[in-house]
Amino acid sequence: MDYGELIKKAEEAKENAYVPYSNFKVGAAVLTDKGEVYTGCNVENASYGASNCAERTAIFKAVSEGEKKFKAIAIVSSSGDFTYPCGICRQVIVEFMRDGEIILGNSKGEYRVYRTEEILPFAFTGKDIK
């Protein structure tokens, strides 16, 4: 699957976002090493701490279906600009996609591609526990 297709899936997922507080919609699409795509959107909650980001929604959905290895994740938002994953999402991405690619899309149809280690250098992993 090419980046444009993955961005399109993220755009579609963004439309399902539940964002009554921020009105900031985010969509994500994760590509497994088997070529399957799982999507997610952000889901807000009045208590804020119970909210979940699009990236984690997509990854957790895939994991709940038995997938644990990913090649790439595409992320888009209603801002129209490139939207980077938050710190918690970066840590979750590292857990399942240490060597993958993060594709950020904007409303102009442009995208930027980063290796996971570029957006979270020196990441903490379970391998660090002795």
Q: Annotated active-site positions, please?
A: 55
Please tell me the number of Cα atoms within 13 Å of 32 on its side-chain side. Answer: 17
Q: How far apart are alpha carbons 130 and 118 in whole angstroms?
A: 25
Write out the E strands in 34-127.
Answer: 37-41, 70-77, 101-105, 111-115
- Per the CB < 8 A criterion, the answer to whether 27 and 38 are in contact is no
Nearest to 99 by CA among 123, 82, 81, 115: 115
C-alpha angle with apex 2: 106 to 98, nearest 5 degrees?
Answer: 85
